[in-house]
């Protein structure tokens, strides 16, 4: 399935613009841009998020750091990994989230200890898409000292064949084919030549990747919301209640109308942002579109959740059943939270947008800060006398 998708150009169309022509034999679409990728993602999400995440989830977020920043110390490894993944022969995944650190990337605890010509990686990653299937891991690690926050992060390209790696599939509410995984790194020896980009640039690389990931998620959620509208209309046109078709009832017409106007607005916004992405370099996108894409992702997850709930009401018992006419709606209803949380939760998206748009120009002084400073000074004096 992966290799067939690669031949059709589905996999190369998951990693952003430009077309990775140096690493794939799949023919490049004429005038390839982000709208081609949008269509690719949209069609892959028609039946729900599971297939999209299985086919594009790991590749769409795990390979771009390797493509964008390279592996300067081992170009052969870089070329082999990119070619194999775009050909559907191997699978890659992005390892950022940990049991104790998700949206707060600077709090990552997985360490990479400097041991001469290699690092020793210890730590755990959780909720990793495609991790159970992956042959390669793009891993955010702490190469700096404790407390170094975002300045002490780096990214490593780790092969699954290296001893010390354990993967365990997680049972989640939705997107079952995605292979959500818990990964343990126990004394994993990784050559220093496997550093992605530069040591200490990990936080920048993670942030650089986020806009594309969130745009992908918004595109998927938008399609899923529209699928709910389509399924509702199709069902309501055939189901009869009280002597007439369900679609003839005004209450159902209003419910579908409420879904439709939200979908139309979301799709227009999605295409507007996609157009802007086509006119900007990746650097300019990160500088100007971060807040807009954050709000787009927020809107997409809320619209998808609203439409899934409304479609469930239209389909009734059929929507509550995992087979038959309501299978798609039931599946999407379980999957909407996979868009409200991963890639940055809705709350984090609002905070990010507020920061990007500069809502707060100057922080009001907190009277508690003065008291805390005083107490810290007193503590310092007490310790000096002990």
Per-residue pLDDT tens for 137-189? 999 999 999 889 889 999 999 999 999 999 999 999 999 999 999 999 999 99
How many Å apart are CA 165 and CA 183, to the nearest integer?
7
Look at the pTM and tell me if it is higher than 0.85.
yes
Residue 169 near residue 177 (C-beta atoms within 8 A): no
Q: Which residue has the tokens 């110390």?
A: 73
Give, for 155, the enclosing helix (H) or strand (E).
strand 153-159
pLDDT of residue 359: 87
Residue ranges of the chain with pLDDT lower than 70?
A: none
Q: How far is residue 96's CA from residue 337's CA, in Å, rounded to a whole number?
A: 19
In this prediction, residue 361 carries a pLDDT of 79
Q: Taking the alpha carbons of 374, 380, 382, 385 in that order, is the dihedral positive or negative?
A: negative
How much is the pLDDT for 236? 97
Among residues 160, 153, 146, 162, which one has the least CA distance to residue 195? 153
Q: Which of 26, 89, 35, 36 is nearest to 59 (CA)?
A: 89
Residue 130's pLDDT is what?
95
Residue 366 confidence (pLDDT): 79
CB 95 within 8 A of CB 139: yes
How large is the angle between the packed helices 250-278 and 34-44, nearest 10 degrees? 150
Q: What is the pLDDT of residues 236-251, one digit of tens each?
A: 999 999 999 999 999 9
Residue 39's pLDDT is what? 96
In angstroms, the CA 334 to CA 328 distance is 10
What pLDDT is stored for residue 242 in this prediction?
Answer: 95
Q: What one-character-per-residue DSSP string does 229-287 give?
A: HHHHHHHHTT-EETTEEGGGSHHHHHHHHHHHHHHHHHHHHHHHHHHHHHTS-HHHHHH
Residue 264, CA distances (Å) to 7, 226, 301 in order: 33, 9, 14
């Amino acid at each position: 399935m992966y290799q067939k998708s690669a031949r059709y150009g589905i996999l190369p169309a998951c990693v952003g613009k430009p077309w990775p022509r140096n690493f794939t034999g799949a023919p490049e679409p004429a005038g390839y841009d982000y709208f081609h990728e949008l269509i690719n993602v949209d069609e892959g999400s028609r039946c729900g998020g599971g297939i999209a995440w299985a086919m594009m989830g790991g590749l769409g977020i795990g390979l771009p750091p390797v493509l964008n920043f390279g592996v300067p110390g081992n170009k052969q490894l870089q070329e082999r990994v990119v070619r194999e993944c775009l050909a559907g022969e191997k699978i890659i995944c992005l390892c950022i989230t940990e049991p104790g650190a998700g949206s707060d990337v600077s709090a990552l605890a997985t360490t990479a200890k400097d041991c001469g010509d290699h690092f020793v990686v210890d730590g755990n990653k959780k909720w990793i898409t495609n991790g159970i299937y992956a042959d390669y891991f793009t891993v955010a690690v702490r190469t700096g000292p404790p407390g170094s926050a975002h300045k002490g992060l780096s990214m490593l390209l780790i092969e699954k064949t290296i001893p010390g790696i354990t993967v365990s599939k997680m049972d989640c509410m939705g997107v079952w084919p995605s292979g959500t995984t818990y990964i343990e790194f126990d004394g994993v020896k990784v050559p220093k030549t496997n550093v992605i980009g530069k040591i200490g640039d990990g936080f920048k690389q993670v942030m650089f990747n986020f806009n594309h990931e969130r745009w992908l998620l918004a595109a998927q959620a938008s399609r899923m919301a529209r699928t709910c509208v389509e399924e509702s209309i199709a069902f309501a046109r055939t189901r009869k209640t009280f002597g007439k078709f369900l679609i003839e009832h005004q209450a159902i017409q209003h419910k579908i109308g409420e879904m439709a106007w939200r979908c139309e607005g979301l799709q227009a916004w999605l295409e507007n942002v996609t157009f802007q992405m086509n006119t900007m370099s990746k650097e300019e996108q990160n500088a100007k579109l971060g807040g807009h894409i954050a709000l787009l992702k927020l809107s997409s997850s809320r619209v998808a959740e609203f439409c899934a709930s409304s479609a469930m009401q239209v389909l009734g018992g059929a929507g509550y059943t995992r087979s038959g006419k309501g299978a798609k709606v039931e599946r999407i209803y379980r999957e909407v939270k996979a868009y409200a949380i991963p890639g940055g939760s809705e709350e984090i998206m609002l905070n990010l947008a507020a920061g990007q748009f500069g809502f707060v120009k100057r922080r009001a002084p907190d009277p508690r800060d003065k008291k805390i400073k005083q107490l810290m000074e007193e503590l310092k004096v007490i310790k000096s006398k002990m």
